[in-house]
Copies of this chain bind each other. A is one copy, B any other.
Amino acid sequence: MPAHKTAETATRPARALRGKRARAAAEDSVPAEDAGGAEVFAVDTVNASFLESLLGYNARRASLSLVGVFMKCMTRFDLKIVEFSVLSLVGRNPGITSRQLCQQLDMLPPNMVGMIDALARRDFLERRPHPRDGRATGLYLTASGRELVDTAEPQLKSSEEKAVAHLSEAERVQLMHLLQKLYR
């Protein structure tokens, strides 16, 4: 999935989750006038009805909510989410190239280099030559990389399960299905 990016940066999903429950309500306008005679109001409860009517807005907030759960879960391993994703992918795809990782994780090659360097320096993965392409480099988990992935994956899974425990199994299946239908 190569191309150019968009704009949905978010390093703090926690925030989006504690937002005011500002539904379509009265706007609590308290009319008055400023010096120039223009009307001025005080907003008591924020009305976000339009944004909240968009699937995209709700998908983003739901996404940020779970991203927050993942981030918190990964702190104990001192891993960012993309770093874990790289290790998980390398674990299931020994010999994967950085180009393939970039495609899978929607990153640009120049920005992958440093991450792989860092993970290699921490002895979680290593580079070996590609069997058929002299330009490429295959990536492999080290023993401690394998140990990390095998520990982290189940913890991620169970932290997500805890986070969505208030949904029934049927709802989770349905949600997964609908989400995939949305982007596939």
Within the complex, what minimum Cβ distance (angstroms) separates A20 from chain B?
6
A63 on the interface (CB 8 Å rule)?
A: yes
User: Looking at the complex, which one of B43, B59, B181 makes contact with A59 (CB distance below 8 Å)?
Assistant: B59
A166 on the interface (CB 8 Å rule)?
A: yes
Q: Return chain B residues, CB-CB under 8 Å to A58.
A: 176, 179-180, 183
Q: How many copies does the complex hold?
A: 2
User: Looking at the complex, which one of B3, B7, B9, B20 makes contact with A103 (CB distance below 8 Å)?
Assistant: B20
Contact call A174/B174, Cβ cutoff below 8 A = yes
Chain A residues numbered 22-80 whose CB sits less than 8 Å from any CB in chain B: 22, 27, 29-30, 32, 34-35, 38, 40-43, 46-51, 53-56, 58-71, 80
Most chain B beta-carbon contacts within 10 A, residue among A7, A30, A104: A7
Known: A50-B88, A50-B92, A55-B179. 14 other contacts (CB 8 A): A1-B15, A3-B18, A5-B11, A6-B10, A8-B11, A8-B63, A15-B106, A20-B103, A27-B93, A43-B93, A47-B89, A55-B66, A62-B183, A164-B182
